[in-house]
Amino acid sequence: MRPRVLPTVLTALALTLPALLVPAGSASAAPTWTLRWSPSPAADGLRAFETVEDDRADSHPAGGPHIKVAGDAYRFDMHKVDRDSYDDRQRHEVTGNRTSSSDFLEWKLGQTWRVTYSMYIPSSLMATTTFTHIMQTKQPGNGTSPITVTSLRRVDGKQTIEHKVFDGGVLVGRTDLEPLQNKWVDVEYEIRIGDGKAGSVRWVLKSGGKTVVDATKTGVDTFLADRVRPKWGIYRSLDDSSGSLRDTYLLLKNMKAYQLKS
């Protein structure tokens, strides 16, 4: 009886077929998320950030520090009397992702980044008729417009939390704010940095393990010049007409930044 060679032939084909399907010169491995930043509030303190903007107009020194470590979280306190250097608004924010005393991450054109963190929004931090931003991406430097913003905004009288691409006011996602207050909510934010229509944004909110928002916008402008830098904290207008401005605070913890690497 002649030996059966068919299984041997099939095995050889199975081993070589994946290589035959990959074009010459292309990478076979899929891009992966690489952790680039994971600060510890207790160990790193405010050194986790590139800059700290705490009452830069020195409007309320008795209330400071307005940005500090509170247990395993970062706390941002905002008082009704606090003023920014523009006195029609208030601002206590941190920027960037510092990795050492002399280095920080730079989000560049063509790159894709993801930040994840947990936030606690008390009922005293209310949505307003004008802007109340709790996360932004911007080009570093004074006088530059936001690129994307997470905001607490009143829509038809209802308190909402939303994420927008600033250029064109493109709404990525929006949901009711009040069910997310007074509890820890998980955030995932992803940005592909692209000029014109080459950018994209994904925004995810989870509460109690349940996904509340998972929204994506593609074909949007997510670049101005130089680089993109994230900001967190409370930045709000004093022109609110709903009576929603209170002494309040915001908590952030478990902050991480990942870069998509080929």
Indicate the average pLDDT of the chain.
Answer: 91
CA max distance for the chain: 97
The answer, yes or no, to whether residue 87 has pLDDT greater than 50, is yes
CB 85 within 8 Å of CB 241 = no
The answer, yes or no, to whether residue 68 has pLDDT greater than 90, is yes
> Measuring CA to CA, which residue among 62, 185, 64, 210 is closest to residue 134?
185
SS (H, E, C) the chain: CCCCCHHHHHHHHHHHHHHHHCCCCCCCCCCEEEEEECCCHHHHHHHHCCEEEECCCCCCHHHCCCEEEECCEEEEEECCCCCCCCCCEEEEEEECCEEECCEECCECCCCEEEEEEEEEECCCCCCECCCEEEEEEECCCCCCCEEEEEEEEEECCEEEEEEEECHHHEEEEEEECHHHECCEEEEEEEEECCCCCCEEEEEEEEECCEEEEEEEEEEECCCCCCCEEEEEEEEEECCCCCCCCCCEEEEEEEEEEEEEEC
* pLDDT over 70, % of the chain: 89
Nearest-angstrom CA–CA distance, 48 and 255: 10
Q: pLDDT confidence of 29, banded at 50, 70, 90?
A: confident
Show the domains of the chain with their CATH numbers: 54-261 (2.60.120.200)
Q: How many CB atoms lie within 10 A of CB 46?
A: 17
Query: What is the pTM (predicted TM-score) of this model?
Result: 0.88
**Geometric angle at alpha carbon 179, from 174 and 180, rounded to 5°:** 70
pLDDT at 14: 41
Q: pLDDT confidence of 21, banded at 50, 70, 90?
A: very low
* Four-CA torsion 22, 25, 28, 33, nearest 10 degrees: -140
